[in-house]
Amino acid sequence: MQAQAHPLEPFFQQAVRNSYEGKLGLHDPDVTSYVAHLLCEFCNADKLFSMRDQTGRPIEELEEMVRAADPVNGSAASFDQERALRKHIGDYSLFVAGMYPEITGSNRRTRKHYPSLEELIHAGKESYFIVSQFNLFEYEQEAPLFARLSDRFERWLLGLTLVRDELGPHKPPELPLRVN
């Protein structure tokens, strides 16, 4: 049984297609669909911080997410878990850098450190690359998609920023979006 599509998916499909294909000339229907689905997923703030530490607390710092994804020294208990965590880090990095670039860097008012744009790009590219290396068995067909996401991360990021601009003016959220 196939999962029902998110009600906003057609809207996001069109917005992403307009930016990727119409404005940037990036014709990759698989990436367009993936990013539109990602926007639907992250409509729910719980999904943005779905990674948990060993005590069950949401992991809100990019550096901590990367540490947790390490199958040797982190909390990833298997290579499959590493893949899932790295996929989330890539998605998180693309989403935050593309939709909320103004929150990158340190916030002196709250003394919180938000990752820089460079840190998000590095983590996103690296994470998608690692996911692309899981290219056997059940992951074989998805691996090329993640290789393209890694190789052209900055282009997909620019397109997502254009999507954000198309959606109109907005006030950036206070990140982290703490979920209780």
Is 25 a domain residue?
yes
Q: How many domains does the chain have?
A: 1
Is 1 a domain residue?
no
State the pLDDT at residue 3.
57
Ranges in the chain, pLDDT < 50: 1-2, 108, 111, 176-180
Model pLDDT for residues 156-178, shown as the tens digit of each residue: 999 999 999 998 775 555 554 44
Is 71 a domain residue?
yes
Q: Domain residues for 128?
A: 9-167
State the pLDDT at residue 5.
81
State the pLDDT at residue 75.
81
State the pLDDT at residue 107.
58
State the pLDDT at residue 128.
98
Is 101 a domain residue?
yes
Is 93 a domain residue?
yes
**Single-letter residue type at 30:** D
Is 175 a domain residue?
no
Is 179 a domain residue?
no
HEC profile for the chain? CCCCCCCCHHHHHHHHHHHHHHHCCCCCHHHHHHHHHHHHHCCCHHHHCCCECCCCCECCCHHHHHHHCCCCCCCCCCHHHHHHHHHHHHHHHHHHHHHCHHHCEEECCCCEEECCHHHHHHHHHHHHHHHHCCCCHHHCCCHHHHHHHHHCHHHHHHHHHHHHHHHCCCCCCCCCCCCC
Is 176 a domain residue?
no
